[in-house]
Structure 1
Amino acid sequence: MDKKRKKKFEMPHTYVIIFFVVLFAALLTYLIPAGTFETKEVTYDKSGSEETRTVLIPDSFSVAEENAQQGTSLFEPFGGAGLLNYVFEGLVSGDKWGSAVGVVAFILIIGGAFGIIMKTRAVEEGILSVIDRTKGKEVLIIPIMFFLFSLGGAVFGMGEEAIAFAMILVPLVVALGYDAITGIMITYVATQIGFATSWMNPFGVAIAQGVSDVPVLSGTPFRFTMWVIFTAIGTFYTWRYASAVKKDPTRSLAYKSDQYFRDDFEQKDLKVNFKFGHALVILTVVLGVAWIIWGVIQHAYYIPEIASQFFTIGLVAGIIGVIFKLNNMRVNDIAEGFAQGAKDLLPAALVVGMAKGIIIILGGDDPATASVLNTVLHSAGQVFEGVPEVISAWLMFLFQSVFNFFVVSGSGQAALTMPLMAPLADIAGVTRQVAVLAFQLGDGLTNIIVPTSAALMGTLGAARLDWSNWFRFIFKFQLLLFGLASVFVIVAVLVNFN
């Protein structure tokens, strides 16, 4: 047995994978000179309101001679970014509006809020009630949830919010005989399919169109058709997989990690005991989610506001739990639930900081600051000149897919790449609308697999699934999405999508 165990290949831990990527990034700093772009402010109209973004000027690239071939040192004091500084510098980088420190706080607060909610046992009782009421109809949960989450990704750019929903739906689908992977598919993966194929996503396609001087929200019929097809294929793929797992749970890559959820139900009384207090907690969550959606759509609420909204939901749920003595809750249990929930998502939060360290080692993602990433961006742009239209458009899609590993933020990637891709599309003979399409498909779909995605790692943390196992499962589906997206990009060129 020991010999067999030694011979068996074991996927490396996510932290190990990121460490070696950081080493590779450090090596690139010795081989590729750092470069800079000049920037300018671009103003565009979005749904009647004026929006402004800072973007790079495509023809302004220059190599920063003083930084060329300097390379990354092993360690830097006084807040510098050496190789061994990548974890700390990654964790404290950015601000409350984004990666990494803002997203880290977001993940921990969501984890804490749902830790309180789980302490009330309202979720477990709700799940048992759903199981009792949907016997023989469990399979309907998959298409309904996949459609709703895909719609959320398409309409208001749903992404990080999927972490919270995974905390509820993963235990539910496991209890129904499926697995955590099914739960991730109907929540996070569905949101990213909607995000990538959206006709109105305010954080992706709308910004890319505005920056590229394309009428914002134009091309809706083509994109809406694309969303329907991608969502239908994603739903069918998930349903077929879930059905196979339900027949034989041991074939799931999440079978071992799902034991946590199975044990959670086995250790408790499985008789339905859904009380009025449990209903109030569930109602609090539903109304809270409605409040969040309203804030995002009406007032563009983002990480700081949404995190505080989730904290409020958790706090109210905890107070209800104490008043109605749900699961014999006391006031101190609110604090203990928050601490335990945050602890459960700490590994995912650390991944966010480590992944951001990759970008810091490469010099950051500011076009006006000398970085290897700027040089890579400029060099990639030169590839498209003199290439046939269809090939150019597909290469744009390929580039955006790869570049998304480094800059996962949809709005950030749009501001960095579209000022360069839009004029290159003119040179290559394809419409700027096609360039925007290549961006949104490349940006959105690879969020499903890249370990640098904070939302993905947070969802995996909620599902207690290691990224290496997720990669083994999702790789085939990712290839399917890549092929389908390639077809749409090529069709868009052939029909002169404008």
Structure 2
Amino acid sequence: MGAPIKKKKTFTLPTAYTVLLAITAIIALATQFIPGVQAAKLSDVIMAPINGLNESIDIAIFVLLIGGFLGVTTKTGALDAGIGNVVNKLKGKELVLIPVLMFIFSLGGTSFGMAEETIAFTALVTTTMIIAGFDPLVSVATLILGAGSGVLGSTVNPFLVSTAIGALNGVGIEVNQVIVIGTGVALWLSSLLISIYFVMSYAKKVHKDKSATLLSEGEFNEAKQAFIGDKSSEEVIEFTTKRKIVLGLFSFTFLVMVAGIIPWEKFGVNIFTKTDFLTGSSLGNWWFSDLGIWFVIMSVVIGLVYKMKEKDIVGAFMEGAADMVGVALVIGVSKGISVIMSTTGLDSQVLNSASSVLSGMSPIVFTIVAFLIYMVLSFFIPSTSGLAGLSMPIFGPLAVSLGFSPEIIISIFSAGSGVVNLVTPTSGVIMGTLAIAKVDYATWVKFVTKVIIAIFISSSIILSVAMMFL
């Protein structure tokens, strides 16, 4: 099993809350010196976390309800039994889990913008990876880089592609979606292959020698205690018929979740139009409130199927939700940064300044600089739909006036926001996933830096070639 994890003397960042609040304060301070921007007041800074939580309350509640659902399911022992059974069958082939899961999550990313939804899988994937002999960093990388590669190379993602096309249409620019899809596929598959390479290389080292982990001893022990407790990684809980049924219901819950958020009608699929009997919205039109109540319903169903008492179901649900309170708060605090950007007008000011920089450049230079600008913009505006609505009416006409393809502008936007959203602390997905998996933000940055550099280089080449020839 290799040597034990060594105690590492490394610089430790403050908690996620402190980092996010510091960024909020720095941005507020910057507004005092930028012309044309409304200076943020002290009250704006103080209220930013609460305002952020108000704007992201649907996601925060969704996370709490997922926690409750996982609490009930975990209480049955079905997850431990199912994971143990799978890992036991994969003895010697545990690495297969990584590319398979990453590809599945990337499909969700490129097709319907799977991002916040990955938070729901964090506990399950982390438990699986630890029992399989890896560490929590492998699970975080599998989730974030898997789904993130798909979003980076969005093909039909309605929250990015459709919003961007709609914004361009609004200023009289027609878009050839075939070009958008083709460029998106190239970005998606290249970034996915790079990500799989780095994750599997690291996972092999950790599986062979636990001291090769980038996690501190404290991080690893905290995660191990949280996800497998005092159980030995070799222990396999009996996979009874009742637990198999629970695991089937567990899988069904997530299948319905995915079906609920894929915009079927936009793809010409109308078989779910009469499925609004449960929440009032048909499958394909669900959002966080619909998803949240679905997890509550299935928590009760699973508890009853396992013949748990009412008091035990409620108790397990509340315990699971309590474990997610910190995650919900992190999501709210991170959203507070975007709130301060929009209320002061700093987001629009940065956008207008960025567009003026791009005038008069050659195709390759334009592409690289636009890519970098979108990376900066995405740090402050992590919402792809929000950034598309703000930036496309400015960058699209600029590209057309310079004789460049507006379709590639969409792909540059997709790649720029996609790269940054793999690491930015302003993303509730990043901070929420790390919080659940018990991985420090500094540890994630240390791991993902090389991956991001490689993806940036490959994406720059793809986008430059596309801009030159399309």
Partner of 2:290: 305
CA distance in 2, matches of 1:245, 1:494: 43
In structure 1, the partner of 2:203 is 242
Q: Letter of the 1:302 partner, please give it.
A: W
* 1:259 equivalenced with 2:215 (yes/no): no
Pick the aligned partner of 2:63 from 107, 111, 116: 107
Please state if 1:90 is matched with 2:58. Answer: no
- Separation in 2, partners of 1:230, 1:89: 35
Q: CA deviation at 1:205?
A: 1.7
Judging changes above 3 Å, is the alpha-carbon distance between structure 1 residues 409 and 211 closer, same or farther for their aligned structure 2 residues?
Answer: same
Cα offset, 1:173, TM superposition: 0.8
SS of 1:404's partner is: helix
Name which of 278, 299, 308 aligns with 1:314.
299
Partner of residue 239 from structure 2, selected from 271, 274, 282:
274
Contact 1:163 1:458 in 2 (8 A): yes
Deviation of 1:34 after TM superposition, in Å, equals 4.2
C-alpha displacement of 1:493: 1.5
Rounded Cα–Cα distance in structure 2 between residues aligned with 1:272 and 1:357:
43
Deviation at residue 388 of structure 1 after TM alignment: 2.1
1:285 to 250, 253, 269: 250
Matched to 2:42, the amino acid is L
Deviations 1:449-494 (A, max 9, x none): 0112122222212212122221222122122212222112211112
Partner of 1:489: 463
Asked if 1 retains the 8 angstrom alpha-carbon contact of 2:194 and 2:451, the reply is: no
Aligned 1:337-486 pairs, distance under 5 A: 337-364=316-343, 371-486=345-460
SS of the aligned residue for 2:218 comes to coil
Task: Give the whole-Å Cα distance in 1 for the aligned partners of 2:303 and 2:223.
Answer: 22
Alpha carbons of 1:258 and 1:10: their partners in 2 closer, same or farther (altered >3 Å)?
closer
Give the 3-state SS of the residue equivalent to 1:267 in structure 2. Answer: coil
Q: Do 1:185 and 1:238's aligned partners in 2 also have CA atoms closer than 8 Å? A: yes
Deviation at 1:216, TM superposition (A): 6.3
More helix by share: 2
Aligned partner of residue 20 in structure 2, secondary structure: helix
CA distance in 2, matches of 1:73, 1:278: 55
Quickly say closer, same or farther: Cα 1:177–1:32, change in 2 above 3 A.
Answer: same
State which drifts further: 258-267 or 386-395. 258-267
Could you tell me whether the CA contact under 8 Å between 2:135 and 2:213 is conserved in 1? Answer: yes
Q: Determine the C-alpha separation between the residues in 2 that align with 1:457 and 1:9.
A: 19
User: Could you say if the C-alpha distance between residues 216 and 354 of structure 1 is closer, same or farther in structure 2, counting changes exceeding 3 Å?
Assistant: farther
Change (3 A) 1:426 1:217: closer
Alpha-carbon distance, 1:385 to partner: 1.1
Q: Equivalent residue for 1:97? A: none
Aligned to 1:223: 184
Q: Which residue of 2 aligns with 1:23?
A: 25
Moved more, 220-229 or 188-197: 220-229
Q: Tell me, what secondary structure is at the counterpart of 1:10?
A: coil
2: CA distance, partners of 1:34 / 1:343: 44
Matched residues in 2 for 1:412 and 1:115: separation? 34
1:204 aligns with 2:178: no
Q: Do the aligned partners of residues 319 and 188 (structure 1) sit closer, same or farther apart at CA in structure 2, a change above 3 Å counting?
A: farther
Give CA-to-partner distance per residue, 1:20-65, whole Å, 9 cap, x none.
2112111122112346xxxxxxxxxxxxxxxxxxxxxxxxxxxxxx
Counterparts of 2:65 and 2:159 in 1: how far apart (Å)?
23
**3-state SS, counterpart of residue 376 of structure 2:** helix
Q: Name the amino acid aligned to 1:313.
A: M
Root-mean-square deviation (CA, aligned residues, Å) is 2.2
| Separation (CA, whole Å) in 2 of partners of 1:346 and 1:389 | 48
Alpha-carbon spacing, 1:271–1:288, altered in 2? closer, same or farther (3 Å): closer
- 1:144-188 per-residue CA deviation (whole Å, 9 max, x = no partner) reads 111111111112221112111121111111111111111122223
Q: 2:116 aligns with which of 160, 184, 187?
A: 160
Change (3 A) 1:330 1:260: farther
Q: SS at the partner of 1:33?
A: coil
Residue 242 of structure 2: SS of its match in structure 1?
helix
Instruction: Give the share of equivalent positions with the same residue, in percent.
Output: 29
Once the two structures are TM-superposed, the CA of residue 432 in structure 1 deviates from its matched residue by 0.3
Aligned pairs for 1:116-127 (under 5 A) are 116-127=72-83
Q: Secondary structure at the match of 2:158?
A: coil
| Aligned equivalent of 1:72 | 40
Deviation (angstroms), 1:261: 4.7
TM-score, normalisation: structure 2? 0.87
1:271 and 1:111 map into 2 onto residues whose CA distance is 24
Residue ranges of structure 1 left out of the alignment (5+ in a row): 36-66, 76-81, 95-99, 324-328, 365-369
Look up the SS of the partner of 1:30 in the other structure.
coil
Name the SS for the 1:218 alignment partner: helix
The structure that is strand-richer by fraction is 1
- CA 1:9/1:292 → structure 2, altered by over 3 Å: closer, same or farther? closer
Aligned 8 A contact 1:392 1:428 in 2: no
Cα deviations by residue, 1:247-278 (Å, 9 ceiling, x for unpaired): 11122133532324534546248244011121
CA distance in 2, matches of 1:424, 1:473: 37
- How far, CA to CA, are the matches of 2:21 and 2:346 in structure 1? 18
